[in-house]
Amino acid sequence: MIEIPDNSAEHLALLDETAASIKEAFGDIPEILVVAGSGLGAFGERLENAKAVSYDKLKNFPVSTVVGHAGKLMRGTAGGRDIMVMSGRKHLYEGVDVRVATLPLQAMLRAGVKTVILSNAAGSLNVKFAVGDLMLITDHINNMFKNPLIGPNLDDMGPRFPDMSEPYNRELQKVARETALDLGILLREGVYWGNLGPSYETQAEVQMLRQFADAVGMSTVPECIAATHAGARVLGISVLTNSLVLKTDAETTHEEVMETGRQVSDKFCNLVSTIISKL
Ligand code: HPA
């Protein structure tokens, strides 16, 4: 596994080396990047004219330790636009340095990405939300006790103390709301709480978190910080795969879960590609 040098010039050189390997594989990089979260790989599979390169073929990309989840970087058309998709991401609970986890995203930003659509699977903390709902992330709380900007600042990327008063771009949120309305897709909104994981929340933690947030997950926050630092626009969408606050006695079968996953995936892909068509 790569190590982040304790020197900003060398760190930047590592990002540029990674960006060069991305460009070598894909040519000039389009401005829109979608990070497809857990279970949302279908988004990449639906790209038209797709080209995919597995992370282990790209320089400095950390490869997931989870078998079958190596991850791949893709380029193709969605919503009529040429975009990049990162299918699979490194999670901090895998034990990786936060700066290694965000290195591929930062390299994509170096390579020319200006708009980042972050998606994730999350647990609902809001009693009004149902399993399978989509949630527009309006803000987040970083409880991961990790920040990708620690260490010497990369002045070429952004400022030492970046403003985080609008981590999720308001204009993009507006486009997402309008698109959902047009498509008849219910789009919830709320605050995403980032936990390190990998253990799920205890009952006491759920009771605490629900005071402050609407969904909880184990990703997105570091990427949002890194993208905001670099001046990129960020849109965040959570798929609420489970509810931590609604109890149901109904039996859940594997088939039902798979079917719900497929339905949510359709809805998610449709929403995101239509948003992209309007950017
Ligand atoms: N908690 C934390 N992360 C998650 C959850 C959850 O309930 N569901 C999906 N990711």
Average pLDDT over residues 188-195: 98
Cα radius of gyration (the chain): 18
How big, in percent rounded to 5, are the helix, strand and coil portions of the chain? 35, 25, 40
Q: How far apart are CA 14 and CA 140, in angstroms?
A: 29
pLDDT (tens digit per residue) in 116-135: 999 998 999 999 999 999 99
Give the confidence band of 252 by pLDDT, cuts at 50, 70, 90. Answer: very low
Q: Where does ligand 1 bind, in terms of residues with CB under 6 Å?
A: 121-123, 195, 200-201, 216-218, 241-242, 244
Q: What is the reported pLDDT for 259?
A: 52
Average pLDDT over residues 166-188: 98
Please indicate whether residue 121 is annotated as part of the active site. Answer: yes
Average pLDDT over residues 6-29: 96
Best probe residue, ligand 1, of 205, 209, 242 (max atoms within 8 Å of C-beta): 242
Give the confidence band of 164 by pLDDT, cuts at 50, 70, 90. Answer: very high
Q: What is the reported pLDDT for 103?
A: 97
The residue contributing the CA closest to ligand 1 atom 6 is 123
Q: What is the reported pLDDT for 209?
A: 97
Hey, what domains does the chain have and what are their CATH numbers? 8-277 (3.40.50.1580)
The residue contributing the CA closest to ligand 1 atom 10 is 122
Statement: residue 187 has pLDDT above 50: yes
Which letter, b or e, does each residue of 80-114 get, where b requires 16 or more Cβ atoms within 10 Å of its Cβ?
eebbbbbbbbbbbeeebbbbbbbbbbbbbbbbebb
By the 10 Å C-beta count (0-12 exposed, 13-18 middle, 19+ buried), 186 is classed as middle
Statement: residue 39 has pLDDT above 80: no
Q: How far apart are CA 88 and CA 207, in angstroms?
A: 30
Statement: residue 249 has pLDDT above 80: no
Q: What is the reported pLDDT for 93?
A: 92
The residue contributing the CA closest to ligand 1 atom 9 is 122
Element (DSSP H or E) covering residue 45 = helix 42-45
